[in-house]
Structure 1
Amino acid sequence: MSSEPLVLGFDTSAAHCAAALLRGPAVLASRFEETSRGQAERLMPILEDILEEAGVSWGALDAIGVGVGPGNFTGIRIAVSAARGLALGLQIPAVGVNGFEVRRAPGSLAAIPAPRDQVYAALPGEAPRLMPLLEATDAARVAGLTFAPEASPADLAQRIAELAAQRYPDTTKAPAPLYLRAADAAPARDLPPQLIDG
């Protein structure tokens, strides 16, 4: 029996379902599906396929890693809810990993595409935020950093699982979504109808 931790990492923060199963540094199985809809329906079958391919059961997992955003609101909620539910049911830790940590590399500006010619970016010395693409491009140039925002890196789930494997022994809090913009949907501004006593 291997003493290396068995960690399942997954993400649905953009138009994809990404998942990877790692034992220590070894990738036992991984999947990546581009999908702009139906992530809630596809995620669990993908995770089950990965476990079956690796020949392990849910009960063998030591931890779960999940991408917490920023990105698509619905996608983030799907993955985070699944991770929290699985962690509770399996009685193992779930570790939230944000998209900047996954995309961080020496000499580059960690950034994620956002709607309306914007990006989520983590400028040096600043908290991550949503900003116009032009502003992020200029900031990266001034700082001498390469800048290539990518919504769905090929190794996304693998990196999430790797970071989760490093952190899970010290994890005490459940993963929470990282939202850096307001939701597109907003409550109706119309006043509710007036009730008339008859």
Structure 2
Amino acid sequence: MPPNAPLVLGFDTSAAHCAAALLSGDLVLAQQYAPMQKGQAENLVPILESTLAQAGHNWSDLDAIGVGTGPGNFTGIRISVACARGMALALGIPAVGVTALEAQAFGVTRPVYSLIPARRNMYYIQKVGDHGAPVEQLSLEDAQARVAGAKSVGPVGQSDFPEAQTPIAEAIARIASERFASQDPTQRPAPFYMRAADAAPAKDAPPTILDAAP
């Protein structure tokens, strides 16, 4: 590995998985991927520690952190982003947020449509590489129409794209490695949400709290 190559830990829990990758320069030192529908909160830190240990490193060796910010599972996004922010603060290193759409398109010739499944038969879609292109949420039919005849990565459009094979945590680490040196060190990643949470505040008025009798 090149001398003084930055050591970057990337991770993601925005979908039904815990994924981690440790990168030194262009070299992947270790990576793990564990499918799971729940349990990310309990498993993320042990997986990160195991990834570091596999490469003979510890937390204090890191130069930067990369974290997946979604869109995706609300709880999973909060878990990873909170972990990244806390670690960055404790270690005094930058934390770089990377969207799942951008990570999925890493290494692919751009511009390219990146799509990932959302709930209720919807899809998140963004034209990555088209500066300023918004992230949208479209139905399956509208997403298929949008990418028809265009280059795309993801489950819509059925594009065979051998370029798009970078595991998500590795892609996050590589993007973070490219960006962290120019990022404001006080900037922290934030969850990328496309819609409000399903849970809503109760509509009923709260109970009246009475003062205790003297």
TM-score, normalised by the number of residues in structure 1:
0.90
Counterpart in the other structure of 1:129: 136
Partner of 2:119: 115
Q: Is the 8 A contact 1:120 1:129 kept in 2?
A: yes
For structure 1, the residue ranges without an aligned partner over 5 or more in a row are none
Contact preservation (8 Å) 1:140, 1:146: yes
- Corresponding residue number in structure 1 for 2:192: 178
Contact 2:69 2:192 in 1 (8 A): yes
Note closer, same or farther for the CA distance 1:134–1:147 as it changes in structure 2 (3 Å cut).
Answer: farther
| 1:191–1:130 CA distance, 2 compared to 1 (3 A) | same
Counterpart check, 1:161 vs 2:173: yes
- Tell me by how many angstroms 1:171 deviates: 1.3
Whether the aligned pair in 1 keeps the contact of 2:114 and 2:152 (CA below 8 Å) is no
State how far apart, in whole Å, the 1-side matches of 2:59 and 2:153 are: 39
| Aligned residue in 1 for 2:205 | 191
Distance 1:188 1:154 in 2: 43
Structure showing the higher helix proportion among its residues:
1
Please give the alpha-carbon distance, in whole angstroms, between the structure 1 residues aligned to 2:93 and 2:208: 50
- Matched length: 195
Match of 2:20?
19
Which residue type is aligned with residue 164 of structure 1?
A: A
Q: Is the 8 A contact 2:65 2:96 kept in 1?
A: yes
The sequence identity of aligned pairs, in percent, is: 49
Cα 1:181–1:138 change in 2 (3 A) is same
**2:96, 2:180 within 8 Å by CA — same for their partners in 1?**
yes
- In structure 2, the residue matched to 1:59 is 60
- C-alpha distance after superposition, 1:53-101 (max 9, x if no partner): 1001111100000000110111000000000000001100000011121
C-alpha distance in 2, partners of 1:196/1:64? 49
Change in CA separation of 1:20 and 1:147 when aligned onto 2, cut-off 3 Å: closer
User: Aligned equivalents of 1:146 and 1:39: distance in 2?
Assistant: 29
The worse-fitting range, judged by mean Cα deviation, of 4-13 and 184-193 is 184-193
Corresponding residue of 2:151: 145
Q: Is the 8 A contact 1:39 1:78 kept in 2?
A: yes
- For residues 32-65 of structure 1, the C-alpha deviation after alignment (integer angstroms, 9 at most, x for no partner) is 0001111010000000001111001111100000
C-alpha separation in 2, matches of 1:73 and 1:188: 20
Contact 1:110 1:149 in 2 (8 A): no
Gaps of 5+ in 2: 157-164
SS of 2:84's equivalent?
A: helix
Give secondary structure in 2 for the equivalent of 1:96: strand
Give the C-alpha shift of residue 2 in structure 1. 2.6
**Residue number in structure 2 paired with 1:30:** 31
Aligned-residue RMSD, C-alpha? 2.1
Separation (CA, whole Å) in 1 of partners of 2:151 and 2:140: 15
Query: What is the identity, as a one-letter code, of the residue corresponding to 1:110?
Result: S
The alpha-carbon distance between structure 1 residues 40 and 195, as it changes in their structure 2 partners (threshold 3 A), is: closer
SS at match of 2:47: helix
1:119/1:149 contact within 8 Å kept: no
Q: TM-score, normalised by structure 2?
A: 0.84
Please state how far the C-alpha of 1:109 moved relative to its aligned partner.
1.8
The answer for the alignment partner of 1:95 in structure 2 is 96
Over 3 Å counting, the alpha-carbon distance change for 1:191 and 1:23 in structure 2 is same
